[in-house]
A = this chain, B = another copy of it.
């Protein structure tokens, strides 16, 4: 069984920019080496290229538009992510929702550059729909738990179970992440035991005074 993925979304947090982004990537690389667990980071666009080139952890963009290069001012192409050294991109995060047509185009554009797609969803039904697009990962985050400090693993294990089943009923190759309120090793363990392939998280690592300590705790039960 492949290692789970711990994917840390730096959002636009003040504590996830510039030097802090480097500090978090340093912690991700360190704890990944210690534990053997894959730990990825998803920084802002400005930090994407430097992090991808200085660290041996997978670096994801937070968003990508499904456009070919062309007259698309202010948009992010998969081609530019490739040039920056990204491993892939989040798509349709709850803070950056896209139309169905645009999600499909984004996944297709990523695959055209041999990049991974992590499509974010809000429930088991949209997770099944996302699975039909053939991304590497579907990341299910119940919106009512995002930023709540209450872990989806504990508050709603059922939605994880149903999402894993719904995704695999459509496409067995698609892996499932879960997120929302994940902050300790036990949350991660429960999520993986429920059939997911890892977690997507943000503030618990990004805002931590010592990100390495939090990451060590997160992987401690795997």
Residues of A within 8 A of B (CB): 9, 11-14, 17-18, 42, 44-46, 48-50, 61-63, 67, 69-77, 79-81, 83-84, 90, 92-104, 108, 121-123, 125-126, 128-134, 147, 166, 170, 202-203
| Residue contact B100 to A74, C-beta cutoff 8 Å | no
Q: Report Cα–Cα, A134/B4, bound state, in Å.
A: 31
Interface of A (DSSP majority class): mixed
Which B residues touch A83, using CB under 8 A? 17-18, 46
Q: When A100-B129, A129-B130, A132-B170 are in contact, do A73 and B9 touch as well, CB less than 8 Å?
A: yes
Which B residues touch A77, using CB under 8 A? 12, 44
| Residue contact A73 to B12, C-beta cutoff 8 Å | yes
* Nearest B-chain residue to A15, judged by Cβ: B69
Q: When A74-B63, A133-B129 are in contact, do A46 and B96 touch as well, CB less than 8 Å?
A: no
Q: Which of B50, B73, B80 contacts A95 (CB 8 A)?
A: B73
Which B residues touch A18, using CB under 8 A? 83
Most B CB atoms within 10 A — which of A46, A80, A93?
A: A46
Shortest 6 CB-CB contacts between residues of A and residues of B: A63-B74, A74-B96, A45-B45, A128-B132, A14-B69, A97-B99
| Residue contact A74 to B95, C-beta cutoff 8 Å | yes
| Residue contact B73 to A96, C-beta cutoff 8 Å | yes
| Residue contact B132 to A12, C-beta cutoff 8 Å | no
| Residue contact B99 to A74, C-beta cutoff 8 Å | no
Q: Report Cα–Cα, A210/B99, bound state, in Å.
A: 37
| Residue contact B101 to A122, C-beta cutoff 8 Å | yes
Q: Report Cα–Cα, A103/B18, bound state, in Å.
A: 26
